[in-house]
Structure formats: structure tokens, C-alpha cells
Structure 1
Amino acid sequence: MPNRLRWGALTWVLTLQFFVVEAVAQARYAGPYSRVDDVISALGASDSPARQLMNASFVVQAALILGGALLLRPALRGSASRAVPVLLGVAALGVLLVGVFPTDGNGTLHAIGAVLYLVGGGLGLVTLAYAVRPRSEALGTTVVLLGMVAVATTIFVLTGVTGFLGEGGTERAAAYPLPLALALTGGTLWWLARRGDAAPDGSVLRRERAREQARRSEEARARDAALEAAAGRGATASRTGHTAPAGTRARGTGPEDAEPGDVDPEDPWAPAPQGR
């Protein structure tokens, strides 16, 4: 299990390769290229000197997304963990189609692939956030925020609302959150597992809960023992010191029990001596 977690985390961290390849492809682009106005797919078109490198990066990205989802599946929690590989698998299929079918090759399959990547990636991140939140609330919050950005900007891309960020800028706002969130998730899960706070099999959490239950049980036993001891002392005191023997009268309980020698003649409130 530790090896599986390690390889899964590394796989998702390597999705950052996309940014490196994109920067190289842009640097080698023959004409002017703007990240705000030009879409990512233009770097994989036939007029891009680095088209083979860019399209290969798309294909590798598909394998990294799906491979990490399958390897890290046992590290996820809750019912959302079952949907994560499905949605991320849709995103992986989409980016695979983008790489295999460039925009100036088979434009229809390329467009379908782009939509699958953006939709599957955004929804996949929202689902992933719920699956990692039991391990780290900070990680879950960060991932869900990235997912919400991806979902919102995907809607803008699909509806053509690109005037504010530009066509390329809006597309990047929808596409970039997925590799960023996956790399963050993979690295954080690995780090938490090494600390022992979030082992994939949950053994550390189970031991912590067992210790807490044992501590509470011990406190309850000590409290019950103290109450039983207090009740026993009270019963013993009642039998030995506070109950007069049967058939006798306790002395000093009334004026008639005062002995003559016990009366203070100087005390005006003292009872009068009784005759024998």
C-alpha cells in the first residue's frame, strides 16, 4: 500500500509536465502567440513547430490523470471516492482525444475531447474535494475552490462568454485547475501518509480512536469505583456511629437527661435539676 500511494502521488505530481511543455511549445511558436487570445490547441496544430511535443504531452497527461486516480483510489474516503475515478477518467479520455486528433485534423473529435476534459475535470475536482476532506480540511477546501473555478469558466467557454479574460485566458482558467489540484492532492496525501496522520488503510486513525475509547472507559470505571466507595463509607458510618443501640436512650437529648453535676448554677438558661 505505501508503494501504491507513493506511485499514485508521483503520477499526479507529474501532471505538471503540461505547463513545462506548453511553455516550450509557445517559445518555439513561429508567429505571435498570446495566452490571452490564443487557445492551447493552437500549439498542437500543424503550423506549430512543437506540435508533436504538445500532442504527446496531451496523451501523457491522459495516462497520468487516470493512472493517479486508480492508484490513489484506496486513499480517498466517503461515497465521493467512487465517482472520482469515473469523472477523472472522462477528463483523461478528453485530453487523449485532444492529443490524438489535433484541432486542424479532426475538429469534431478534438472539440468533443476538449469538452470532456473541461467538464470531467471541473466536476472531478469538486468530487475529489469531498473525498480528501476527511484527511485534510485545508486540502479539501483548496481543491473545491479550484474545482469551482474550473466549472464556472467551463460554462463561460461553452457559452462563449470570453470577453473579459479572452478566449485563450478563459480556456486556461478552465483547464489549468485540474493539473494544479491533482499535483497538490498527490503531494499532500503522500506527505500526510508519511507523517502517519492519514495512512491509506486507516490503521492510524483506528488506533487513535481505540486509545480514546480506552481512556474514556477507564475514566468511567474510576468514577464508578469512587461513587461505590463513597456509598460504602456512608453506609458504614450510619451503622456504627449514628444509630443508638436498641432499648437505650441517648444522653444529652433533653432536660430530663441532665445530671445534677452537669448543670451550671451560673447559667440562667440551664435546666432545673430533677429529683431522683
Structure 2
Amino acid sequence: MAAVTPNRLRWGALLWVLTLQFFVVEAVAQARWTGPYSRADEVISALGTADSPARQLMNASFVVQAALILGGALLLLPVLRGAAARAVPALLGAAALGVLLVGVFPTDGNGTVHAVGAVLHLAGGALGLIALAYAVRPISESLGTVVVLLGIVATAGTVFFLTGVTRYLGEGGMERAAAYPLPIALALSGAVLWWLGRGGDLAAVESSRRAERECERARLAEQARARDAALESAVGGDRRTGADDEDPGTDPEDPWAPPRQRG
């Protein structure tokens, strides 16, 4: 695994913090929308269609978002801990691919590819946040708790949006409940990981983990030695017993033979 250098940590954190650009661009695109625009009724993708005066800006934001999500995940991978860390790049990579497809193929251009991209982005992002929560929890339990809560909100929003359960929040509102937690959680995670690394807490965590691994290896080695010693003792005892049983000088029918030699 690659080392967690200060530059790598800084740039990875910065990329995830910059995912907040999505909210800025969305607000600009909404402001330039001709006529009223309701975030509850209109989906995000509408801002990237031909009806949107800021469609090029919005679609460019989607493409940039893909690079920010994936780039941050790859740079910060050495910081993450546990088995869940291996799933984070794959799931967030799927989310990045999805938002890339959304930006390259607007809904009024190639609706099928756009829909596939939207599903990938929402589902990959929601599951990626849950995996990320477990991967950062050994470093910061508070961060892990916040991220997993955002992941649960994103997962619920994704399920409701894809199944058409949009009565209370509207189609656009439910889509935003599914999509908004990802950049928020990534920006928060990037900032916290950078701050902990700056204060040396990540190094302390790594040192503690290394000490735990050394203790575990020593414990396993001691168990192996004890097991080998027990096996050698058992094999030695069997050999001695066999040698006594095969002693030609011992008559099992001899009533005057010592108790140890009687059959």
C-alpha cells in the first residue's frame, strides 16, 4: 500500500472538499433558469437540458464532479482502514462513472445512457458512503457516525426515488435527498482527514495499528510453538509406548512381571 504522504493527503482532501462545487453551479444554473424552477418538482438533470441557459456549465460540473470523487478516493485510499476500505474506490468509482455519464449524455440527448448513469451515481454513492463510514471509523468514530448517517439518508432517498415514492418531497426533492449527502460527506471526510493528518493523529493511529499487528503476530507465533511442542510430546509418548509393547523380553503371561509390563 502506498504511503500517506502529506502532499497526497492534502490533495486528496482538497479534491473531496471541492465536490461542493456542485451546489454552487446548481444554484447558478437555477438562477439562470427561464421562469420558475422548483427544487421539489424539477430533477437536477433538467438543469443540463436544452431548456436550461446554463446547461453547458451544469454538464461541465457533472464531469468535474466525477474526477473529484474518483481522484479523492484514490489519493486517500492509504488513509482508510479495514476491509471496507477495499470497497470504497469501487463504489465511489461507480458513482463517479455515473455522474460522468449524466454530464456527457443529458437526459434530452441519450435518455437511456443518462438514466443508467443516474442509477450508478446514486446507488454507488449511497453504498460508497456506508463503506467509507466503516473505513474512517477507526480513525474518527464521530466522523464515521456522521458519514454512515448520511449514507443511510442517501440509500433511503435512492430507493424511494427509483421506486417512485416521491409524494412528500416531490420528484426533485427525493432525488436531492439521494444525491446531496455524497458531496457533503466527501467534503466533511476530506476536511477531517486532512486536519487529523496535520495534527499527527493519523500517524498515532497507524503506530497503534502497527503495534496491534505485532502483538497479534507474536500471539499466533506463541500458539504455534505451543501446538508444535504438544504434538512432539504426544508423538514421543506414542513411540515410547510402542517400544515397551514390542519388548521381546516381556512375557504378558508372567504373573511375577511388574504391573507396567503386564498385558
TM-score of the alignment, normalized to the shorter chain, above 0.5: yes
**Greater helix share, structure number:** 2
Aligned with residue 157 of structure 2, among 153, 156, 159:
153
Distance 1:153 1:13 in 2: 23
Aligned with residue 124 of structure 2, among 94, 98, 120:
120
Give the superposition deviation at 1:199. 2.9
State the identity as a percent. Answer: 78
- Using the size of structure 1 for normalisation, the TM-score is 0.74
Distance 2:45 2:155 in 1: 19
Q: Does 1:105 align with 2:109?
A: yes
Give the superposition deviation at 1:206. 5.7
Give the superposition deviation at 1:66. 0.2
Residues 166 and 174, structure 2, Cα contact 8 Å, conserved in 1: yes
Give the superposition deviation at 1:60. 0.1
Q: Which runs of 5+ in 1 are unaligned?
A: 214-276
Question: Aligned AA for 1:188?
Answer: V
Q: Does 1:177 align with 2:181?
A: yes
Residues 74 and 201, structure 1, Cα contact 8 Å, conserved in 2: no
Aligned to 1:241: none
Distance 1:200 1:189 in 2: 13
Aligned to 2:93: 89
Question: Aligned AA for 1:164?
Answer: Y
Aligned to 2:46: 42
Give the superposition deviation at 1:195. 1.1
| RMSD across aligned positions (CA) | 1.6
Distance 2:99 2:35 in 1: 25
1:69-127, Cα deviation, whole Å (9 max, x unpaired): 00000000001000000000000000000000001000000000000000000000000
Residues 193 and 200, structure 1, Cα contact 8 Å, conserved in 2: no
Q: 1:84 to 1:57 in 2, by over 3 A?
A: same
Instruction: Report runs of 4+ in structure 1 exceeding 6 Å deviation.
Output: none
Residues 21 and 57, structure 1, Cα contact 8 Å, conserved in 2: yes
Secondary structure of the residue aligned to 2:201 is coil
Question: Aligned AA for 2:197?
Answer: A
Q: Does 1:71 align with 2:75?
A: yes
Determine which structure has more spread, i.e. the larger CA radius of gyration.
1
Aligned to 1:187: 191
Q: 1:76 to 1:206 in 2, by over 3 A?
A: closer
Give the superposition deviation at 1:32. 1.2
Q: How many residue pairs get matched?
A: 209
Distance 1:206 1:160 in 2: 45
Secondary structure of the residue aligned to 2:81 is coil
Aligned to 1:243: none
Aligned with residue 33 of structure 2, among 21, 29, 44:
29
Distance 2:140 2:183 in 1: 19
Residues 139 and 205, structure 2, Cα contact 8 Å, conserved in 1: no
Q: Does 1:60 align with 2:74?
A: no
Give the superposition deviation at 1:197. 1.0
Q: Which runs of 5+ in 2 are unaligned?
A: 216-263
